[in-house]
């Protein structure tokens, strides 16, 4: 077996020592996070700077953010397998790898975040079907299983694994029914992305978070699913661009990127219009009904109205408009600016929907609550980034993640 190379045929990879050095750096950061994780599991959540007013903090934000950013996986699966946008086959592998990283990270962060990790299975066993968090937990785990299933065939395409007849057939057969898995993934994603929005939207004790309902779902349910589909692709494109920058070669053809960017752009524009309507209704109907004006929610120096402007205009309308115009998305500077703004925009939205909800005082006689994460919280939030870099590096080195790489970078 030794004669089969580990690295896919027809592509060039950096030398072993260069790769090892890179991995060592990422591993060092990872270990820092693992140490913090150990401290938290061993000593408890007193290692964080959370408190009774800030029961949800950096981690819940990180969870919501990575899940939104990982939304590129379900949305590209939807476009490729269900709407048959075949060009996207050239980027979907990466979207799946990113999704896998994002979802495994989210599950890990949740396991660190709960006060009694050994009882975490209660959320399944003693499930309260009325809780948005239950729906999140179920769909998240199921969808993680789907992502793993989508990732496996790619792993099996490694030349050395592909040699084994069973694995070769398995990869082929899994590819054959991938559309079914993708469709299940879309179904699950629709609900858990939405439920994450519902987590805040149902809190009728928190006027900053609460939104009107359609049946049992608050508006934020739909906005979260929509924004994940809209901004997820921005993150997929961003990671592609970063990988291209680091490996110093083109990995995905422009027409693929442009198509994905265009779809993302239209999703962003429609989303941000819906978000604007939601914000107006909330500011002028829902909140006054509770005795609040819009400015009551933005009366702190950290959480001022600029944040709302940044989220909706700078990180919403601007990237959306850039991406829907042909000129905009084909200009590489504008394209990069738009996708970076997009990634910031969705992360900002998740931040606001978690941390600002906690910060806003509900009693007229209370002050704004403030919070600064402890180093343990930061380290465990950086951990997934290091882990992501490691997985993507390994995947890129040993697996045919980018089908167009050979054609774009012929070795003579």
Partner 1 sequence: MFPFCFEWAWDISHIVFMGGLWYALSIIGAGMTFAIVKSVFDCAGHDDQDHGHH
Partner 2 sequence: MKEKNDYKQAKRYGMVIDLDKCTGCGACMVGCYSENNVPFKADETNKLDSINWIRIFKITNDKPYPETETCYIPMPCMQCDGVGKHGHPPCVSVCPAVATDYDYDTGIISQIYTRCFGCRYCMAACPYHARKFNWWDPVWPADMEKYLNPKVSPRMRGVVEKCSFCFHRYQQARDKAYLEKREELAENEYQTACAEACPTGAITFGDLNNKNHAVYKLKNSPKAFRLLERLNTNPKVYYLTSKKWVRRAGDNYLTHEEPGKIKNNMKEHH
Residues in contact with partner 2 by CB under 8 A are 44-46, 51-56, 113-117, 119-120, 122-123, 126-128, 130-134, 137, 199, 202-207, 213, 288-293, 296, 357-358, 362-365, 369
How many Cα atoms within 13 Å fall on the side-chain side of residue 71? 30
Total of residues contacting partner 1 (CB under 8 A) = 32
Is 113 buried (19+), middle (13-18) or exposed (0-12) by CB count in 10 A? buried
Q: How far is the CB of 175 from partner 1 (least distance, A)?
A: 9
Q: What is the dihedral of CA 60, 141, 230, 307, to 10 degrees?
A: -10
Q: Which stretch binds partner 1 (CB under 8 A): 7-15, 17-25, 122-130, 282-290?
A: 122-130
Indicate whether 119 belongs to the interface with partner 1 (CB under 8 A): no
DSSP letters, 63-127, are: HHHHHHHTHHHHHHHIIIIIS--GGGHHHHHHHHHHHHHHHHHHHHHHHHHSS-GGGTTHHHHT-
Minimum Å gap between C-beta 155 and partner 1 is: 14
Q: Confirm or reject binding of residue 168 to partner 1 (CB under 8 A).
A: yes
Shortest separation between residue 213's beta carbon and partner 2, angstroms: 7
Short-list 278, 258, 260, CA closest to 270: 278
Taking alpha carbons only, the member of 318, 234, 223 closest to residue 275 is 223
Q: Examine residue 177 and tell whether it contacts partner 1 (CB under 8 A).
A: yes
Angle at 342 between CA 382 and CA 92, to 5 degrees: 80
3-state secondary structure of 218: strand
CA-based R_g, the chain, Å: 22
The structure tokens listed for 178 are 């991938």
Q: Which does 204 bind (CB under 5 to 8 A by kind): partner 2, partner 1, none?
A: partner 2
Q: Can you say how many angstroms the Cα of residue 198 is from the centroid of all Cα atoms in its chain?
A: 17
Instruction: Find the shortest distance in angstroms from Cβ 131 to partner 1.
Output: 10
Q: How far is the CB of 93 from partner 1 (least distance, A)?
A: 17
Q: Which does 383 bind (CB under 5 to 8 A by kind): partner 1, partner 2, none?
A: none
Shortest reach from residue 143's CB to partner 1, in Å: 9
Tell me if 154 contacts partner 1 by CB under 8 A.
no
Q: Per DSSP, what are the bridge partners of residue 358? A: none
> Which entry of partner 2, partner 1, none binds 184, CB below 5 to 8 A by partner kind?
partner 1
Return the number of the residue (140 or 229) whose C-beta is nearest partner 1. 140
Helix (H) or strand (E) holding 32: helix 16-43
Task: In whole angstroms, give the CA distance from residue 303 to residue 298.
Answer: 5
Q: Does 187 bind partner 1 (CB under 8 A)?
A: yes
213: enclosing H helix or E strand = strand 213-214
User: Which among 77-85, 167-175, 306-314, 319-327 is the span making contact with partner 1, rule CB under 8 A?
Assistant: 167-175
Determine contact, residues 271/226, Cβ cutoff 8 Å. yes
Give the bridge partners for 213, in sequence order: 218
Write down the least CB distance from residue 291 to partner 2, Å.
Answer: 3
In the complex, the smallest distance separating the C-beta of residue 365 from partner 1, rounded to whole angstroms, is 38
* Local structure of 179: helix, strand or coil: helix
The option from partner 2, partner 1, none interacting with 368 (CB < 5 to 8 A, set by class) reads none
Residue 216 beta carbon to partner 2: minimum distance, rounded to whole angstroms: 9
Q: What are the beta bridge partners of residue 214?
A: 217
* Residue 165 site contact among partner 1, partner 2, none (CB < 5 to 8 Å, cut-off depends on kind): partner 1
Residue 212, CA distances (Å) to 109, 203, 204, 278, 342 in order:
30, 11, 9, 9, 26
- For position 173 contacting partner 1 by CB under 8 A, the verdict is yes
Binding flags for partner 1, 234-273, as an x/- string (CB under 8 A): ----------------------------------------
| CB of residue 134 to partner 1, shortest distance in Å | 8
Kindly indicate which of the ranges 15-23, 162-170, 235-243, 351-359 contains the residues binding partner 1, using the contact rule CB under 8 A: 162-170
| Residue 146 is a binding residue for partner 1 (CB under 8 A) | yes
Q: What is the dihedral of CA 111, 359, 371, 106, to 10 degrees?
A: 20
Per CB under 8 A, 128 contacts partner 1: yes
Site of interaction with partner 1 (CB under 8 A):
124-130, 134-135, 138, 142, 145-146, 149, 162-163, 165-166, 168-170, 172-174, 176-177, 180-181, 184, 187-188, 191
């Amino acid at each position: 077996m030794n004669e089969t190379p580990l690295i896919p045929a027809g592509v060039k990879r950096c030398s072993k020592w260069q790769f090892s050095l890179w991995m060592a750096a990422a591993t060092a950061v990872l270990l820092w996070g693992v140490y913090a994780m150990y401290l938290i599991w061993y000593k408890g959540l007193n290692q964080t700077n959370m408190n009774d007013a800030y029961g949800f903090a950096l981690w819940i934000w990180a969870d919501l953010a990575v899940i939104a950013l990982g939304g590129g996986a379900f949305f590209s699966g939807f476009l490729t397998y269900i709407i048959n946008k075949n060009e996207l086959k050239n980027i979907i592998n990466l979207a799946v790898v990113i999704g896998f990283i994002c979802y495994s990270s989210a599950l890990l962060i949740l396991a660190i975040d709960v006060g009694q990790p050994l009882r975490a299975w209660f959320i399944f066993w003693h499930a309260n079907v009325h809780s948005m968090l239950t729906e999140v937990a179920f769909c998240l785990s199921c969808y993680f299983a789907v992502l793993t299933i989508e990732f496996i065939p790619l792993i099996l395409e490694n030349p050395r694994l592909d040699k084994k007849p069973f694995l070769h057939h398995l990869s082929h057969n899994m590819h054959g029914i991938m559309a079914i898995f993708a469709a299940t993934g879309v179904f699950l994603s629709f609900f858990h992305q939405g439920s994450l929005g519902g987590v805040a939207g149902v809190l009728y004790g928190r006027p900053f978070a609460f939104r009107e309902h359609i049946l049992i779902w608050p508006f934020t349910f739909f906005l979260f699913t929509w924004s994940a589909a809209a901004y997820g692709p921005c993150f997929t494109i961003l990671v592609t661009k970063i990988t291209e920058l680091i490996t110093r070669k083109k990995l995905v053809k422009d027409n693929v990127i442009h198509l994905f960017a265009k779809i993302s752009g239209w999703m962003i524009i429609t989303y941000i219009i819906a978000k604007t309507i939601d914000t107006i209704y909330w500011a002028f109907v829902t909140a006054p009904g509770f005795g609040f004006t819009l400015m009551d929610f933005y009366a702190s120096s950290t959480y001022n109205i600029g944040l709302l402007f940044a989220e909706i205009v700078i990180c919403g309308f601007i990237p959306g408009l850039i991406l829907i115009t042909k000129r905009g998305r084909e200009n590489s500077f504008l394209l990069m600016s738009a996708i970076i703004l997009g990634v910031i925009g969705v992360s900002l939205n998740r931040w606001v929907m978690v941390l600002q909800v906690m910060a806003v005082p509900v009693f007229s006689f209370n002050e704004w609550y403030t919070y600064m994460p402890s180093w343990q919280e930061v380290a465990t939030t950086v951990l997934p980034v290091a882990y992501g870099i490691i997985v993507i590096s390994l995947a890129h080195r040993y697996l045919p993640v980018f089908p167009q790489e050979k054609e774009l970078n012929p070795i003579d």
